[in-house]
Structure 1
Amino acid sequence: MIERAIVEDNVKEFQIQEYVANQLRNVGHSHIKLQKTPLGEKIIIYASRPGLIVGRKGQNIKKLTEELKNNFKLENPQIEINEVENINLDSQIVAERIASSLEKFGIQRFKGVGHRVLTDVMNAGALGVEILMSGKIPSSRAKRWRFYLGYLKKCGDIALTGVNTSYSVAGIKTGVIGIQVRIMPPQTKLPDDITILDEPIEVVEEVDEKKEKEEKKVKEKKSKPTKKTVSKTEKSKKTTKKDEQPTEKPVEVVEEKPTEKPVEVVEEKPAETVEENTEEKPVEEVKEAAE
């Protein structure tokens, strides 16, 4: 059946994840992904310190691949290691860090460890953090201590898909302490966050169109008066020429006619009369005397 094959694959993947997590403790292991390829099965390990997983000359990886072949009957497992970008936003790495610090420094400093981790996670950009420590701390009686900061969803689909939850265990002389870390990363989209989409692009385009129209109108207005002024100047030139022509004609008439006629009359008539009387009469008298 197809359903049984799917269930078997999921169980196998879960067992591989648990086995790798137990083998890679205190190394900054985050999570694992399994991919099936034509060459075999590919195992991608995400960790904060990949150098410790590889080991000297790749001894740790070789050992891990052989164990996976024998225990889970994998044909050709290929292990790939990727580094986690932000350590403080990974809940599994944070839980392991708290467990290792409790094992090193003891129970007396558990409050300082919790508050320091809270500040580191919130400074990394998380929306909310919650840390739960349960066990015999600090006394012989079991208690549960809660460290909380920011905004964190507790119910609904976002509490399952948008919140990263991880568990870790710290072994101390008095007993075992369970650690639970829940982190809401900054990229989670909450249904309460409503963003009203504005349309600044259309408004800018409308403003641009209005400006263009106004500029065109201004240009047209500037171009029209120039044409009118040219026409007026031409008309004024024409009118001045027309005005000059009638003024010249009467001046010529007035100057020529009255000046020429009286001069001719005055000069010719008296000259003829005087010359005839003076010259002819004495000549006739002289001729008569000679005869």
Structure 2
Amino acid sequence: SRWYMGRDYAKTLHEDLEIREYLKKELEQAAVSTIEIERVANKLRVEVHTARPGIVIGKKGAEIDRLRALLSAKVGKDVFVNVREIKRPELDAQLVAENIAQQLKRRVSFRRALKRAVGTTMKLGAEGIRVNIAGRLGGAEIARTEWYREGRVPLHTIRADIDHGFAESNTTYGVVGVKVIIFKGEILSDADKPAVGSKG
């Protein structure tokens, strides 16, 4: 969320949470990663980051117009909805976590789901990935935590470009939590970048 609020901070925050929850439910099949909310005066701008923009926009923009009308009625303000496409969903931690959660719901073996997700992410150029999974794995009597890591995931390096994602899977045995951390490389300032030597 991008806004400043004085007295009505709590009310506005809850409104944001309601908007996010509502959009996540409405766009369940659209692979939505993040929802950014910006407030200026009496207007609301909602930016939806999705891997499937066609589902969000709909035929000739019908779906996005419907969402805009519903959100305007819900909050009583002018709402603008922008859609931004995620080019490589396999490198988005939230989408990877939700993908694993959906596989667990379909009773896919958790080890197979983890290894497949990790392998795909690493193939597409991530420098490292770590997946934590917790709950009654495989229908076990006692809940436990398992994790799988490939590459490097430096959580204490400030300049590391780290992406976090979390999802829950409502399996027949109970809720299983999935946490994904992807390391995409280091963000270097111009001063830190190595100088390229001239060829001569």
Q: Same fold (TM over 0.5)?
A: yes
Cα deviation, residue 195, structure 1: 5.7
Equivalence map 1:74-223=2 (5 Å): 74=77, 76-104=78-106, 106-107=107-108, 109-138=109-138, 139-158=140-159, 162-186=161-185, 188-189=186-187, 196-197=194-195, 199-200=197-198, 204=200
* Alignment RMSD: 2.9
Alignment coverage as a number of residue pairs: 193
Alignment of 1:44-55 (within 5 A): 44-55=47-58
- In proportion to residue count, which structure has more helix? 1
- Assess if the C-alpha contact under 8 Å between 1:27 and 1:48 holds in 2: yes
Q: Is the 8 A contact 1:26 1:100 kept in 2?
A: no
Distance change in 2, residues 1:38/1:141 (3 Å) = closer
Moved over 6 A (4+): none
Q: Match for 1:24: what amino acid?
A: L
The structure showing larger relative contact order (alpha-carbon pairs under 8 Å, at least 6 residues apart) is 2
Could you tell me which amino acid in structure 1 is paired with residue 147 of structure 2? R
Task: Tell me, yes or no, if structure 1 residue 22 matches structure 2 residue 21.
Answer: no
Shift of 1:174: 0.8
8 Å contact from structure 1 (residues 129, 150) kept in 2: yes
Identity %: 21
Deviations 1:116-171 (A, max 9, x none): 11011011111110111111112122111101111002235357xx3111111111
Greater C-alpha radius of gyration = 1
Task: Tell me the TM-score normalised to structure 2 length.
Answer: 0.81
TM-score by length of 1: 0.58
Q: Which runs of 5+ in 2 are unaligned?
A: none
Residues 83-134 of structure 1: CA deviation (Å, up to 9, x unaligned)? 1111111111111111111212x05x11111101101101111111011111
Kept in 2, the 8 Å contact 1:100–1:170? The answer is: yes
CA contact (8 A) 1:134 1:179 kept: yes
1:31 matched to 2:34: yes
Q: What is the rounded CA distance, in whole Å, between the counterparts of 1:34 and 1:40 in structure 2?
A: 11
Whose strand fraction is larger, Structure 1's or Structure 2's?
A: 2
- State the Cα distance separating 1:3 from its structure 2 match: 6.0
CA positional deviation for 1:19: 3.1
